Amino acid sequence: MDTEAAISGQVALVTGASRGIGLAIARRLGRMGARVAICARKAEAIERAAEELRRAGVETLGVTADVTRLAEIAALVEGTRSALGPIDILVNNAGIGAFGPAHEMREADWDAVLDTNLKGVFLVSKAVAPEMIRRRTGHIINISSLAGKNAFAGGGIYCASKWGLLGLTYCMAEDLRRYDIRVSAVCPGTVATEFSPHADKDPAKMLQPDDVAHAVAALVTQAPQSFISEVLLRPTQKP
């Protein structure tokens, strides 16, 4: 599926795509024929990722943008439309973490995580949805986590953001399905990236970024009369 032009000519926007899961998703969608816009907060990192995709033959636009800033989101969406065309696929991948007992965390930690992981999805989706509604087509895929379903010590703020993201995803799906827009969540377990190094676990047994990209590829190639609301991803062996 990843080598065929399954979504040839479509435009995909992937947030938080300078490395890790986001970059793997952008690479997979590009190999499937999409024109891809990627964003991240650091200019050097996003341009490096965009150049890597271009070398792989993917038509790519790299944009420096913070998904918590409304003006930067507007510029990102408009820049994507101008350079590549109307957005057919939005993958909300940008996310951060702050870990520790909730009663010991700072208000600033709460604000940073919730603004990025939850409010950012709301803002970017809000910017992209009206044109999808007008065109009566589109996929919105939110990269959540098994932390949106399972509690663990020290995960209070992060889990709150991902539980909230699932609630937002399900409601968006109900709001948008009447316009033939499909909204889905992908919930991976621990993925071997810089975001979650987990020194006590064997990276070879952990999920890889390409595993998440494979799930996204499956979602965007569904038959038009149905959609998968949620994908839960776990490694075959426990790390």
Helices (H) and strands (E) in the chain, counts: 7, 7
| Burial annotation 202-211 (CB, 10 A radius, 16+ → b, else e) | eeeebbbbbb
Catalogue the E-assigned strands of 45-137: 60-64, 89-92
Query: Is residue 174 exposed (0-12), middle (13-18) or buried (19+ Cβ within 10 Å)?
Result: exposed
Instruction: Catalogue the active-site residues.
Output: 158
Residue of 202, 212, 218 whose CA lies nearest to 234:
212
Confirm if 39 and 12 have CB atoms less than 8 A apart.
no
Which of 34, 4, 55, 9 has its CA nearest to residue 141? 34
What token pair was written down for 209? 């970024």
